[in-house]
């Protein structure tokens, strides 16, 4: 044990997109606060935020069918889509502010314009997609959306997917030009470079092993320096647990009552990647399909153009699977050691309720490459096995908690922010919509943990995020202004040359 000890205002645990975002917001709002980061790996953005570990979709609900659910009366509920879209506009504004202020450079290194499309087959699904299009396309947040069930038009939009396809059932797609591909790994690295040059103390290869309250109300962390083996102690007034899959264990160590009766269920992921330039060139979009019956929402299949390492590639997936690890670099004991006396009943209840999900995930793990190719062929009929390789994606830890609606042990598919009553510690759990909504989620943490400062911070927040505190839907005049200014700042202007009115391409 060393006697190395430090005391600071803020400690951020984990160097993923969430800590990067919170640190960057704090540096603008209170530049003189001391901020220290501990990350157990050697570099920032190596876990879920890494470009190969997530799908890189700038989630704005432009194409993800699971954000628009069909209600029992047949109408489409678009409230979640609106919420996700508004959150993405907040991220775009903050990233634009960082670029315009020269705090980060070269936005094309982390965000690229890319059409977002939804694609369905079968009469029932086509009817659903058309209804979804009608519900969204007149909404100013989704302007420029097009729908088609015309094979000629589909061939033009999706040459790789329509080639060698027999149109023996109805097929339809929607397209919106203003979508994006986001390299969250590159963005995380850029933000950590920015934090480093702004006096944030960043310690890589430092694993936080314990967190406890001190008698004077601070939080004391026991941190292992993984290169020297030495255990250090560091204290702070405020701690953010942004450890991704590692957050639940650390939250449990704080002992705060808000962290009790909460569990985690890990879902692993695999993508298939194609680097054959001849094939890659035939596709230019993110195309989201519909999850098969019984599949969880995070396994909605999609075929995406990706821009990684200055190269275009295609990714298909994710294939969900089961592994007891909470991080890609985690331990096989993560799941079992997350079960505590206070959450065992919640976990057992979820185990009983989610038996079919567990069976589904285990079946997914057992799929052979050829069986995965068959799923890919639903998108690309003539896909050849030799053109596609498997890559292991990040782990997601879905939150399990007791809810009034779902009862004991209900599996959650969204993001959960847990804060102590006195605002001295906050943790982020859950996965979706994830990195795309990092800015909104971190603003929520600031509001919940620093209510005494938020009024004084508001003018600066509004300078960075002009729509802060306003609903874009209720202020439609702001939508055009924000779309235009953020597209310009982020180099996405091409995506603005889209039709403003919804387009229903005539059926054949
Ligand atoms: C398969 C998949 C696809 C996804 N697709 C998308 C998508 O298309 N769009 C989107 O917006 N989001 C997507 N997401 C979600 C998104 O990747 C995550 O929400 C986001 O990256 C989480 O960021 P984070 O900073 O919380 O966690 P991470 O990026 O995982 O960072 C946490 C960090 O904490 C470190 N850490 C853990 N424990 C400790 C400890 N004890 N001490 C010190 N450091 C520790 C880890 O090493 C890691 O670096 C996807 C996720 C997955 C898995």
C-alpha 47 – ligand 1 centre gap (Å): 5
In the structure encoding, which two tokens stand for residue 56, read together? Answer: 């890189």
SS3 33: coil
Ligand 1 near 440 CB (within 6 A): no
Ligand 1 near 306 CB (within 6 A): no
Side-chain half-sphere of 305: how many Cα atoms within 13 Å? 25
pLDDT number for residue 359: 78
Longest Cα–Cα distance in the chain: 76
pLDDT number for residue 406: 85
**Whether the predicted pLDDT of 506 surpasses 60:** no
Residues in Cβ contact with 194 at an 8 Å cutoff, skipping those fewer than 6 apart = 24, 27, 98, 103, 104
pLDDT number for residue 498: 46
pLDDT number for residue 90: 98
Cα angle 347, 247, 68 (rounded to 5 degrees) comes to: 70
Q: What is the DSSP string of 125-190?
A: HHHHHHHHHHHHHTSGGGTT-EEE--HHHHHHH-HHHHTT----S-EEEEEETT-EEE-HHHHHHH
**Whether the predicted pLDDT of 505 surpasses 90:** no
The confidence band for 367, taking pLDDT boundaries of 50, 70 and 90, is: confident
Atom of ligand 1 at shortest distance to CA of 329?
47
User: Mean pLDDT for the chain?
Assistant: 92
Task: Single out the residue of 66, 63, 17, 15 nearest to residue 41, CA to CA.
Answer: 15
Phi-psi region of 60 (alpha: psi -120 to 50; beta: other; left: phi over 0): alpha
pLDDT number for residue 297: 66
CA 397 to chain centre: 12
CB 321 within 8 A of CB 267: yes
Residue with tokens 């083996």: 229
| Mean pLDDT, rounded, for 93-116 | 97
| Mean pLDDT, rounded, for 291-302 | 75
pLDDT number for residue 508: 37
C-alpha 16 – ligand 1 centre gap (Å): 6
Ligand 1 near 433 CB (within 6 A): yes
Ligand 1 near 301 CB (within 6 A): no
C-alpha 415 – ligand 1 centre gap (Å): 12
Q: Give per-residue pLDDT as tens, 27-79.
A: 999 999 999 999 999 999 999 999 999 999 999 999 999 999 999 999 999 99
As a whole number of angstroms, the distance between CA 389 and CA 280 comes to 14
As a whole number of angstroms, the distance between CA 383 and CA 380 comes to 5
C-alpha 397 – ligand 1 centre gap (Å): 10
| Mean pLDDT, rounded, for 5-21 | 96
Candidate of 435, 437, 444 to mutate for ligand 1, largest count of ligand atoms within 8 Å of Cβ: 435
| Mean pLDDT, rounded, for 272-290 | 96
Ligand 1 near 259 CB (within 6 A): no
DSSP tag of 45: S
CA-CA distances (angstroms) from residue 389 to 273, 274, 309, 320, 384?
Answer: 5, 7, 17, 16, 11
Atom of ligand 1 at shortest distance to CA of 271?
1
CB 137 within 8 A of CB 494: no
pLDDT number for residue 3: 58
Ligand 1 near 44 CB (within 6 A): no
Residue with tokens 């938020």: 454
Residues in Cβ contact with 318 at an 8 Å cutoff, skipping those fewer than 6 apart = 55, 269, 270, 271, 298, 299, 393
Atom of ligand 1 at shortest distance to CA of 415?
19
Nearest CA to ligand 1 atom 51: 54
Side-chain half-sphere of 169: how many Cα atoms within 13 Å? 9
**Whether the predicted pLDDT of 291 surpasses 90:** no
Atom of ligand 1 at shortest distance to CA of 207?
42
As a whole number of angstroms, the distance between CA 467 and CA 88 comes to 12
pLDDT number for residue 294: 66
pLDDT number for residue 167: 79
Helices 79-100 and 184-196 cross at an angle (nearest 10°) of: 40
CB 91 within 8 A of CB 115: no
Candidate of 18, 49, 301 to mutate for ligand 1, largest count of ligand atoms within 8 Å of Cβ: 49
Ligand 1 near 39 CB (within 6 A): yes
Ligand 1 near 55 CB (within 6 A): yes
111-113/262-274 β-pairing: unpaired
Q: Give per-residue pLDDT as tens, 391-430.
A: 999 998 989 998 888 888 888 878 889 999 999 999 999 8
Task: Single out the residue of 244, 275, 220 nearest to residue 390, CA to CA.
Answer: 275
SS3 69: strand
Q: What is the DSSP string of 367-426?
A: --HHHHHHHHHTTSTT--GGGEEEEE---EEEEEEEETTTEEEEE--SEEEEE-TTSSEE
Sign of the dihedral through C-alpha 382, 383, 386, 387: positive
Ligand 1 near 394 CB (within 6 A): yes
In the structure encoding, which two tokens stand for residue 119, read together? Answer: 């694609």
SS3 298: helix
Ligand 1 near 321 CB (within 6 A): no
Ligand 1 near 54 CB (within 6 A): yes
As a whole number of angstroms, the distance between CA 149 and CA 157 comes to 11
Nearest CA to ligand 1 atom 31: 16
CA 79 to chain centre: 19
Q: Give me the phi and psi of 474, to 5 degrees please.
A: -85, -10
231-241/5-13 β-pairing: parallel
Nearest CA to ligand 1 atom 19: 434
Ligand 1 near 441 CB (within 6 A): no
C-alpha 33 – ligand 1 centre gap (Å): 25
Name the percent of the chain lying above pLDDT 70. 95
Ligand 1 near 246 CB (within 6 A): yes
SS3 6: strand
Candidate of 38, 47, 301 to mutate for ligand 1, largest count of ligand atoms within 8 Å of Cβ: 47
pLDDT number for residue 321: 83
Atom of ligand 1 at shortest distance to CA of 57?
8
Does residue 433 have a cis bond before it (omega within 30 degrees)?
Answer: yes
**Whether the predicted pLDDT of 199 surpasses 80:** yes
**Whether the predicted pLDDT of 1 surpasses 90:** no
As a whole number of angstroms, the distance between CA 334 and CA 249 comes to 8
Nearest CA to ligand 1 atom 38: 246
Ligand 1 near 290 CB (within 6 A): no
As a whole number of angstroms, the distance between CA 431 and CA 309 comes to 25
Ligand 1 near 242 CB (within 6 A): yes
pLDDT number for residue 497: 47
CA-CA distances (angstroms) from residue 141 to 71, 84, 119, 132, 432?
Answer: 21, 11, 20, 14, 20
Least confident range from 122-131, 196-205, 349-358: namely 349-358
Cα angle 241, 242, 247 (rounded to 5 degrees) comes to: 65
Ligand 1 near 61 CB (within 6 A): no
As a whole number of angstroms, the distance between CA 315 and CA 340 comes to 38
CB 421 within 8 A of CB 449: no
Q: Give per-residue pLDDT as tens, 214-230.
A: 999 999 999 999 999 99
Nearest CA to ligand 1 atom 21: 49
Cα angle 169, 172, 177 (rounded to 5 degrees) comes to: 160
Ligand 1 near 15 CB (within 6 A): yes
Q: Give per-residue pLDDT as tens, 460-495.
A: 999 999 999 999 989 998 999 999 999 999 999 855
In the structure encoding, which two tokens stand for residue 338, read together? Answer: 């997350």
C-alpha 504 – ligand 1 centre gap (Å): 38
262-274/396-403 β-pairing: antiparallel
């Amino acid at each position: 044990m060393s006697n190395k000890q430090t005391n600071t205002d803020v400690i951020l645990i984990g160097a993923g997109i969430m800590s990067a975002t919170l640190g960057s917001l704090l540096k603008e709002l209170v530049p003189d606060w001391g901020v220290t980061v501990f990350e157990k790996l050697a570099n920032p953005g190596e876990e879920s935020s890494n470009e190969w570990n997530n799908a890189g979709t700038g989630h704005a609900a432009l194409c993800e069918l699971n954000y628009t659910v069909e209600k029992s009366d047949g109408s489409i509920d678009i409230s979640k889509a609106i919420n996700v879209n508004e959150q993405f506009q907040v991220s775009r504004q903050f990233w634009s502010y960082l670029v315009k202020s020269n705090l980060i450079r070269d936005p094309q290194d982390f965000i690229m314009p890319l059409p977002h499309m939804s694609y369905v087959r079968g009469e029932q699904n086509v009817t659903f997609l058309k209804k979804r299009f009608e519900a969204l396309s007149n909404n100013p947040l989704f302007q420029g959306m097009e729908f088609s069930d015309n094979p000629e038009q589909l061939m033009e939009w999706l040459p790789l997917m329509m080639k060698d396809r027999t149109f023996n059932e109805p097929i339809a797609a929607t397209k919106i030009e203003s979508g994006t591909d986001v390299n969250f790994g590159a963005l995380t690295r850029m933000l950590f470079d920015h934090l480093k040059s702004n006096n944030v103390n960043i310690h890589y290869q430092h694993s936080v092993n314990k967190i406890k309250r001190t008698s004077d109300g601070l939080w004391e962390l026991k941190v292992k320096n993984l290169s020297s083996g030495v255990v250090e102690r560091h204290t702070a007034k405020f701690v953010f647990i942004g450890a991704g899959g590692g957050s639940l264990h650390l939250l449990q160590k704080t002992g705060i009552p808000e962290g009790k009766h909460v569990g985690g269920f890990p879902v692993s992921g695999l993508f298939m990647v194609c680097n054959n330039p001849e094939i890659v060139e035939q596709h230019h979009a993110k195309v989201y399909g519909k999850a098969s019956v019984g599949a969880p929402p995070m396994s909605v299949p999609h075929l995406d153009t990706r821009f990684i390492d200055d190269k275009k590639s295609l990714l298909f997936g994710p294939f969900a699977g089961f592994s007891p690890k909470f991080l890609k670099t985690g331990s096989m004991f993560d799941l079992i050691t997350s079960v505590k006396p206070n959450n065992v009943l919640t976990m057992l209840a979820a185990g009983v309720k989610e038996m079919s999900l567990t069976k589904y995930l285990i079946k997914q793990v057992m799929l052979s490459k050829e069986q995965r190719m068959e799923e890919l062929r639903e998108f690309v009929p003539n896909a050849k096995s030799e053109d596609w390789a498997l890559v292991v994606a990040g782990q997601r830890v879905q939150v399990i908690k007791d809810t009034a609606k779902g009862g004991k042990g209900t599996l959650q598919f969204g993001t959960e922010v847990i804060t102590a009553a006195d605002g001295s510690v906050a943790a982020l759990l859950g996965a979706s919509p994830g990195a795309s909504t990092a800015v909104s989620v971190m603003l929520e943490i600031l509001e919940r943990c620093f209510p005494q400062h938020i009024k004084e911070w508001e003018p600066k927040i509004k300078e960075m995020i002009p729509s802060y505190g306003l609903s874009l839907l209720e202020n439609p005049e702001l939508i055009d202004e924000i779309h235009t200014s953020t597209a310009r700042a982020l180099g996405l202007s091409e995506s603005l040359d889209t039709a403003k009115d919804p387009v229903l391409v005539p059926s054949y």
